[in-house]
Amino acid sequence: MAITIDEAVPGPATDDAPPARRRGGRGRMVVEVLLLTALAVAMLFPVLWMLETSIKENRDVYAVPAKFFGFDLTLDHYKDVFVARGGGRSDLSGSFLNSVVVAGASTVLATVLGVPAAWAYSRFTLKAKKDQLFFILSTRFMPPVVVVIPIFLMYRTLGLIDTKLGLVLIYAAFNVPFTIWMMKGFVDEVPAEYEDAAMLDGYTRLQAFWRVTLPLLVPGIAATAVFALIFSWNEFVFAVFLTSSQEVRTAPPAIAGLIGGTTVDWGLVAASAVVFAVPVLVFAYLVRKHLVAGVTLGAVRR
C-alpha cells in the first residue's frame, strides 16, 4: 500500500554530505546553478506572464512584440472580475461564490465520511481489507469523461442536473477515496495503545476514538481537508457537464467560458485566473509538508 521513506536520515548530515561538490570543482557547481535557474525561470515564466497580463492596460496586453516592461498599470481587470459592467455583482463573482460553497460542502462531507472509515480500516482486522482499500483507491482512477455519462443520466432522472447538491455529491465521492487513504496514514501513526489504555479506564471503543484519537488527528484531518478542498476547487469536467445555469456554475467552467466568444478579453481571463489560483497556492503552501502524500492520493508517504 504505502511506502514509507525513512526520515531518520539526519538533515545536516546530508547537507554537508556530498564531498563531490568540492571535488567536482567550482565550474561544475556554476553550471548546475545556472541550469537550475534556467529551469526555474522556464517553470515560473507563464505564471509571471499571467500576473503581468492581469495588471496591463488592454492595448499593452495585445502589443506586438510583447511588452515585458514599461507597460501601463491598471487594476480594471480585477474590478471586472468582481463588479459587473453596469454596477452590481458580476457573473464571475457569483461563480466564485458557488465554487466556495460546493468545494466547502463536498470537503466537509468527504471528511465526515472518510475519517471514521479510515480509522476503522486502520484499527480493525477486516475481511479482505487490502482488497477493499485497493478497490476504494481504484474508483479514483476512473476517467471522469466516462463516469460523467451515466452520472448525467442518473442525475437527469433524479433531478440533480444543474444543482449544487449534485456537484457536492460527485465531488465528495471523488474525495472519499483520497480522504480514506490519506487519513489511514495519519491514524496508523497514532499508537493504538492509547485507545487500549482509555478502554481499560472504562471508555468504550467509540469513546476512545472520539476522546483520545480524534483530537490527535486534527492536524492530519486539516491537511487532508485542504487537499480535498483544492481538488474540488480545481475540478472542471463534472462542473462543465453537470451544470449549465449561472446560479449553479462554479468558477472553472465560468472562467473557461470567457474564451468562448469571437473576441477574448485576455486581461479579464488573466485576472480571474489569478483570483482563482491564489487561494489554491496559499492552501498548498499551508500543507507543503504533506504534499508527497497529498498528490499521490495518500499512496506514498514520507
Partner 1 sequence: MTTTTDHPVQEASAAPPPAPGRSPRLTDRRLALVFISPAMLLLLTMSVFPLLWALYLSFTDYSATRDAPADFVGLGNYTTILTSPEVWQRALTTLVYVTGAVALQTVLGFGIAYLISRRARGRGVLTTLFLVPMMLSPVVVGLFWKFMLDAQFGVINSMLGSLGLGQVEWLTRQRTALLSLIVVDTWQWTPFIMLIALAGLTAVPAYLYEAASIDRASEWFRFRHITLPLVWPLLLIAVMFRAIEAFRLFDLVYILTSGGPGVSTETLSFHVYKVAFLGFNTGLASAYGILMVLVVIVLAQIYLRYLNKLKEG
Question: Shortest gap between Cβ of 287 and partner 1 (angstroms)?
Answer: 10
Which distant-in-sequence residues (6+ apart) come within 8 Å of 240 by Cβ?
252, 253, 256
**CB 14 → partner 1: shortest distance, Å?**
5
Q: Find the binding residues for partner 1 in span 35-64 (CB under 8 A).
A: 35-36, 39-40, 43-44, 46-47, 49-50, 53, 61-64
CB of 79 to partner 1, least distance (A): 19
Q: Is 66 in the site for partner 1 (CB under 8 A)?
A: yes
Q: How far is the CB of 146 from partner 1 (least distance, A)?
A: 3
Residues 169 to 208: which contact partner 1 by CB under 8 A? 169-170, 172-174, 176-177, 180-181, 184-185, 188-189, 191-193, 196, 204-206
The residue from 20, 27, 69, 70 that contacts partner 1 (CB under 8 A) is 20
Task: Tell me, residue by residue from 84 to 123, as one string, x for binding to partner 1 by CB under 8 A and - for no binding.
Answer: -----------------------------xx-xx-xxxxx
User: How does DSSP assign 152-205, residue by residue?
Assistant: HHHHHHHT-TT-HHHHHHHHHHHHHHHHHHHHHHHHHHS-HHHHHHHHHTT--H
The smaller minimum CB distance to partner 1, of residues 6 and 87, is found at: 6
Using the rule CB under 8 A, is 147 a contact of partner 1? yes
| H or E element in which residue 3 lies | strand 3-4
Closest by CA to 95, choosing from 259, 231, 229, 233, is: 233
Q: Which among 68, 80, 103 is positioned nearest to 269, based on CA atoms? A: 80
The least distance separating partner 1 from the CB of residue 262, rounded to whole angstroms, comes to 14
Instruction: Please tell me whether residue 260 binds partner 1 under the rule CB under 8 A.
Output: no
3-state SS assignment for residue 300: strand
Q: Is 167 a binder of partner 1 (CB under 8 A)? A: no
Instruction: Compare residues 88 and 285 and give the one whose CB is closer to partner 1.
Output: 285
Residues 280-299 that bind partner 1 (CB under 8 A): 280-281, 284-285, 288, 291-292, 295-296, 298-299
Range 264-283, binding partner 1 (CB under 8 A) = 266, 269-270, 273, 276-277, 280-281
Residue 91: all three cell numbers together: 457573473
Min. distance of Cβ 266 from partner 1 in angstroms? 5
Residue 128: HSE in the Cβ half-sphere, 13 Å Cα cutoff: 5
Nearer to partner 1, 89 or 156 (CB): 156
Q: Is residue 126 within the footprint of partner 1 (CB under 8 A)?
A: yes
Q: Whole-angstrom Cα distance, residue 201 to residue 147? A: 48
Rank residues 100 and 173 by Cβ distance to partner 1 and give the closer one. Answer: 173
How many residues contact partner 1, by CB under 8 A?
Answer: 123
Give the range of 71-79, 85-93, 216-224, 233-241 binding partner 1 by CB under 8 A. 233-241
Helix H segments across the chain? 11-15, 20-24, 26-54, 58-61, 76-82, 91-123, 129-139, 144-158, 164-189, 192-200, 205-208, 214-234, 237-242, 251-257, 266-286, 291-295
- Asked if 75 is part of the footprint of partner 1 (rule: CB under 8 A), the reply reads no
